[in-house]
Amino acid sequence: MHLAQLHDGEPVEFITSNVRNRHGSWLLKREVDIRSVMMNTDCFTSHGISGFDQIIENFDGLLIPTEADLPEHTAYRSFMTPAFAPRRIAEMDEVIRKRVRQVIARVGPRGGCEFMAEAAYYMAIAPWCEIMGLDYSEADRWIRFPVGILQYNDDRAELMAEMIEAARGLYRELKGSDREGLLAAFVNTPFDGEVPSEASAIGFIVFMLIAGVDTVGATLGFAMRQMAMDKVLRTRLRSHPADVAPFVEEVLRRYPVVATNRYVKKDVKVGSVTMKAGDNVILPMSMANSDPAANACPMAFDVERGRTRTMTFGAGMHMCIGSRVARALLQIAVEEWLLAIPDFEIPDDAPLVARVGDVIALTALPLSYPITSAATV
Ligand code: HEM
Predicted confidence (pLDDT) per residue in 83-110, tens digit: 999 999 999 999 999 999 999 999 999 9
- Helix/strand/coil for 221: helix
Contact indicator for 191, 179 with CB cutoff of 8 Å: no
pLDDT at position 374: 56
Alpha-helical runs (H) found in 214-264: 214-229, 231-239, 244-254
Q: Which of 2, 28, 34, 5 is nearest to 15 (CA)?
A: 28
Contacts of 5 (CB under 8 A, 6+ apart): none
88 in ligand 1 pocket by Cβ < 6 Å?
no
61 in ligand 1 pocket by Cβ < 6 Å?
no
pLDDT at position 1: 56
| pLDDT at residue 43 greater than cutoff 90 | yes
pLDDT digits (tens, 9 = 90+) for 61-82: 799 999 999 999 999 999 999 9
C-beta neighbour count of 178 within 10 angstroms: 7
pLDDT at position 152: 77
Q: Which amino acid is at 296?
A: A
> What average pLDDT is seen over the chain?
93
CATH class of 3-367: mainly alpha
Nearest CA, atom 18, ligand 1: 320
When pLDDT is averaged across residues 216-244 and rounded to a whole number, the result is 97
* Distance in angstroms (rounded) separating the CA atoms of residues 146 and 206: 9
Contacts of 273 (CB under 8 A, 6+ apart): 12, 26
CB neighbour class for 339 (10 Å; exposed up to 12, middle 13-18, buried from 19): middle
CB neighbour class for 364 (10 Å; exposed up to 12, middle 13-18, buried from 19): middle
pLDDT digits (tens, 9 = 90+) for 361-373: 999 999 999 987 6
Residue 373 Cα to ligand 1 middle (Å): 35
Burial 64-88 (b: 16+ CB within 10 A, else e): bbbbbeeebbeebeebbeebbeeee
pLDDT at position 2: 66
Distances in whole angstroms, Cα of residue 141 to Cα of each of 75, 96, 162, 163, 174: 30, 19, 11, 10, 17
322 in ligand 1 pocket by Cβ < 6 Å?
yes
289 in ligand 1 pocket by Cβ < 6 Å?
no
| pLDDT at residue 156 greater than cutoff 90 | no
Domain boundaries, the chain: 3-367
* Distance in angstroms (rounded) separating the CA atoms of residues 287 and 273: 18
219 in ligand 1 pocket by Cβ < 6 Å?
yes
Q: What are the backbone dihedrals phi and psi of residue 342, each rounded to the nearest 5 degrees, phi first?
A: -65, -30
37 in ligand 1 pocket by Cβ < 6 Å?
no
Residue 199 Cα to ligand 1 middle (Å): 21
Which residues does residue 262 pair with via DSSP β-bridges, in sequence order?
Answer: 281
Nearest CA, atom 38, ligand 1: 318
CB neighbour class for 308 (10 Å; exposed up to 12, middle 13-18, buried from 19): middle
Distances in whole angstroms, Cα of residue 184 to Cα of each of 7, 160, 175, 192: 45, 22, 7, 18
215 in ligand 1 pocket by Cβ < 6 Å?
yes
